[in-house]
Structure 1
Amino acid sequence: MILVENTVDLEGPPLDFYYINEYKPAPGINVINGITTGCECADCPAEKCCPKEAGFILAYNKKKKLKIQPGLPIYECNSFCRCGPDCPNRIVQKGTPYSLCIFRTNNGRGWGVKTLQKIKMNSFVMEYVGEVITSEEAERRGQFYDNQGNTYLFDLDYDSDEFTVDAARYGNVSHFVNHSCDPNLQVFNVFIDNLDLRLPRIALFSTRTIKAGEELTFDYQMKGLQILTLLLQEVWGTSRFCCSLM
């Protein structure tokens, strides 16, 4: 359930925004690569479950909470796997599990998103979706968005910089999530029915326990090499990390 709340002014939700639950690919872009096989596990995780076949560890623990570090990919079981819907390796594909509220902020930041339920640390919260476009088209749109003073472009830079997600006109609740240099959500790349490394799905997980009524935020620039930098800082024992709003 997603509510909309405005106790600040008379501004209504954007009229030119269309709500979608999955990527909307531009012509010529295929976000489903025709995968035809899945794991044979009757009870995941098993010896040859999807993450291990891809060369990575299972991303979730027995309580279905994230157990991997930022920068590592998540490989979930797909539509051809033998395991059922209760498989502990099917999390992001089930969609947002919490009741959220799109609300009008009272400090001039426009709309924001808050949770109506308590969210435990390392829990999946929402997926970032929108139009999947080429980096060339993103460059063109970016110039227009910069003139407007806002942007919803998210580079899919896990393996390359060929594609970008644009959530300006088509997206879900993540369209309204604000930036923070001290965010409570973290970005992870997810692969399910598409194993093309250029086109990961983008999932947002909680970095700590989030109280009911608290605003949800993520770092707009915490992507690609910056996630690797954060991992290195953790190894070196450096806790300070500065960022700036795009």
Structure 2
Amino acid sequence: MAEFSKECSVPSKMSWDALEALCRLEGLHCKDLGITKANVNEYEVEFLCDYKKTKMEEFYLVKWRGFPESVNSWEPKRHLKCSKLMKQFHQDLDQELSRQKIRSIPKRLDREISTFIVRKAELRQKLQSWETQLNLTCNHPGRIFVMNDVDFEGPPKNFTYINNYKAGPGIVFTEMAVGCECKNCLEEPVNGCCPGASLHRVAYNEHGQVRVRPGQPIYECNSQCLCSPDCPNRVVQKGIQFDLAIFKTDNGRGWGVRTLQHIKKNSFVMEYVGEIITSDEAEKRGHIYDGEGSTYLFDLDYVEDVYTVDAAHQGNISHFVNHSCNPNMQVFNVFVDNIDERLPRIALFSTRSIRAGEELTFDYKMQIDPVDTESSKMDCSFTLAGVSNSPKKRMRVECRCGADSCRKYLF
């Protein structure tokens, strides 16, 4: 009879929570699950569903983690050790009571109120799961948070988070063959360092803030360069440095993004990432997107209008950034390892100091003043899906940015 290897294992058909609940139910101890003789009879509260009070005591209806709703139970407040969940329960309760113009907590909640609280709790779980997935997927230092205090919309169903451009059918990235030999690219550049090869100066100061005008290309040091990863000419390639939050807007603009940290003027914030497709393919997809009123196609027209970034279903956090006619971010074309000028990386830098908690925006139809030859090449062409060059086919999309200088329409 063959012996089983000690390394042999099979996946469990139960979730971790369900497995823990089963062990507690059967009185089994498990070191990996954290179930010991001392805590085997302790059950974890997943969320609180309902509330009632008598003359003597307050009770909460508890949803136990790992167990079906059929075993929900009323528990006295004194038995519960879940202060955070209790605080969240009362925040949701106060919100709904305020909406219904009820001034005090009733002795027994009606079904409409308890249903609202359960839906909010279930939504919070879905968003927390999505938040965890996003942070496991992203490769940048800045963390991502998700919140929705407006309605019951959960995570997008057809969106995959990616960190870099994804090449679409027929798209080939041409990688840089050579790099610089500088020891200090900012103070002692050899032959002008990487920007010198294209007759441009290093785009950043010693603090990583951009110092060239919008419209001028940025050439960062690449994977073939001898300089260290801490080189001042490596900014965009280091990824998002700030903690950001995806949040649901309260004025019909869908999801938005706000910064949770202060951002200094001229700082790199994020890239616009998606699938690289041809302009012809973008036109085809655009006709599909038109019916959804989506705006995720970004034309890469730095030197030629032949490629487009499609972030409708694959992208990073920039997928959720809204338009503003008075934005706090500006688009720059950046080149790192790819030398094809038709395929720049789209980097968003702050145009001013941005407070923690402020929404991040950029102008979908930003125009760059032609102060020189290079900048005249660059228009920010973040277009409505499928909009052709013919004015007769352009869709009129209302702008809700709320800026004093609002143009009233995005397109």
CA distance in 2, matches of 1:13, 1:227: 35
Q: TM-score, normalised by structure 1?
A: 0.92
**Could you tell which deviates more after superposition, 141-150 or 189-198?**
141-150
Establish whether residue 245 from structure 1 lines up as the match of residue 393 from structure 2. no
Q: Aligned to 2:181, which of 40, 43, 61? A: 40
CA distance in 2, matches of 1:34, 1:81: 13
Q: Deviations over 1:162-213 (max 9, x none)?
A: 0000000000000000000100000000000011110000000000000000
Q: Which one has a larger percent helix, Structure 1 or Structure 2?
A: 2
> 1:24 corresponds to which residue?
166
Percent of residue pairs identical: 63
CA contact (8 A) 1:70 1:231 kept: no
Following TM superposition, the consecutive aligned residue runs of length 4 or more in structure 1 with deviations greater than 4 angstroms are 229-232, 241-244
The one-letter amino acid of 1:14's match is P
Once the two structures are TM-superposed, the CA of residue 111 in structure 1 deviates from its matched residue by 0.2
The one-letter amino acid of 1:175's match is H
> 1:235 corresponds to which residue?
none
CA distance in 2, matches of 1:108, 1:13: 16
Establish whether residue 182 from structure 1 lines up as the match of residue 347 from structure 2. no
SS of the residue aligned with 2:280? helix
CA distance in 2, matches of 1:96, 1:242: 29
Gaps of 5+ in 2: 1-142, 374-404
Once the two structures are TM-superposed, the CA of residue 34 in structure 1 deviates from its matched residue by 2.8
**Could you tell which deviates more after superposition, 136-145 or 171-180?**
136-145
- Cα 1:30–1:150 shift into 2, 3 Å: same
The one-letter amino acid of 1:79's match is S
> 2:243 corresponds to which residue?
99
SS of the residue aligned with 1:203? strand
Q: TM-score, normalised by structure 2?
A: 0.55
SS of the residue aligned with 1:187? strand
CA distance in 1, matches of 2:150, 2:354: 24
Gaps of 5+ in 1: 233-240
Q: Deviations over 1:81-117 (max 9, x none)?
A: 0000110000000100100000000111110000000
Once the two structures are TM-superposed, the CA of residue 228 in structure 1 deviates from its matched residue by 3.4
SS of the residue aligned with 1:103? strand
> 1:110 corresponds to which residue?
254
CA distance in 1, matches of 2:300, 2:369: 15
- Cα 1:135–1:213 shift into 2, 3 Å: same
Aligned residue-pair number = 234
The one-letter amino acid of 1:155's match is D
> 2:234 corresponds to which residue?
90
CA distance in 1, matches of 2:155, 2:371: 35
- Cα 1:79–1:23 shift into 2, 3 Å: same
CA-atom RMSD in angstroms:
1.6
CA distance in 2, matches of 1:200, 1:43: 25
Looking at both structures, which has the greater relative contact order when contacts are Cα pairs under 8 Å and sequence separation is at least 6? 1
CA distance in 2, matches of 1:169, 1:191: 24
Q: Which one has a larger percent strand, Structure 1 or Structure 2?
A: 1
Establish whether residue 72 from structure 1 lines up as the match of residue 216 from structure 2. yes
Structure label with greater radius of gyration: 2
- Cα 1:110–1:60 shift into 2, 3 Å: same
CA distance in 2, matches of 1:136, 1:198: 15
CA contact (8 A) 2:195 2:220 kept: yes
CA distance in 1, matches of 2:181, 2:207: 22
Once the two structures are TM-superposed, the CA of residue 71 in structure 1 deviates from its matched residue by 0.5
The one-letter amino acid of 1:203's match is A
SS of the residue aligned with 2:291? helix
Establish whether residue 170 from structure 1 lines up as the match of residue 314 from structure 2. yes
Q: Deviations over 1:134-182 (max 9, x none)?
A: 0001111112212211220000000100000000000000000000010
**Could you tell which deviates more after superposition, 33-42 or 16-25?**
33-42
> 2:46 corresponds to which residue?
none
Q: Aligned to 1:7, which of 140, 144, 149? A: 149
CA distance in 2, matches of 1:212, 1:68: 25
